[in-house]
Amino acid sequence: MHNIILGVTGSIAAYKAADIANTLTKEGNSVHVILTKAGAEFITPLTFQSLTKNKVHTDMFADYVPSEIQHISLANKADLALIAPASADFIAKAAAGIADDMLTTVILAIRNKPVIVCPAMNTAMYENPITQRNINTLREFGFIFIEPREAMLACKCIGKGALAENEVILDSVRKMLK
């Protein structure tokens, strides 16, 4: 069994993360979902708790336990972190080393473990030179990116920015855990 951090950020593709969490759990992994505030606008913690049978982390300061530093504990027990979907906001914060929520704090605390990032956003946002610079910065630090697909997006535009197919994401996770 592997411990997997699944970060879910603010994107319409957040609903697809429920299937990812469900599949990884059924395959015998312990999936620990970290749902950002924006992600929780698209899908609820209860969905992930029901599928993974684990507490969903939404707030750095909720359920404070003095004997445990929660973000460090989560980072230390992770075998892999997967951010799917990853918003432009998350990518920018991670590239700048900003740790202002549970997900960015845990990601900053992970050492020597794979971090897979699956962008999902509007084409203009994805292709923006700032976003591309942030992606390249994270790649330089060893983050692994699964490219988004070209499709009709929620804004009715056709372009690159749709979350990669779940099976592509799951295959990448399985390969990294072998």
How many CB atoms sit inside 10 A of residue 145's CB?
A: 19
Digit-coded pLDDT (tens) for 99-137: 999 999 999 999 999 999 999 999 889 999 999 999 999
- Report the number of distinct structural domains present in the chain: 1
Identify the CATH number of the domain in which residue 18 sits. Answer: 3.40.50.1950
Predicted pLDDT of residue 162: 86
Residue of 69, 96, 124, 155 marked catalytic: 155
* Higher pLDDT, residue 155 or 12: 12
Predicted pLDDT of residue 66: 63
* 157 a catalytic residue: no
Q: Which domain holds residue 173?
A: 3-177
Position 65 confidence tier, pLDDT thresholds 50, 70, 90: low
Which positions ≥6 away from 56 have C-beta within 8 Å?
Answer: 33, 34, 35, 45, 48, 49
Going by C-alpha positions, the residue among 42, 38, 36, 30 that lies closest to residue 5 is 30
Q: Which pTM was predicted?
A: 0.94
For the chain, list the strands marked E by DSSP: 3-8, 30-35, 80-86, 115-119, 144-145, 149-152, 158-162
* Higher pLDDT, residue 148 or 65: 148
Scanning the structure block, which residue is given the tokens 């593709």? 13
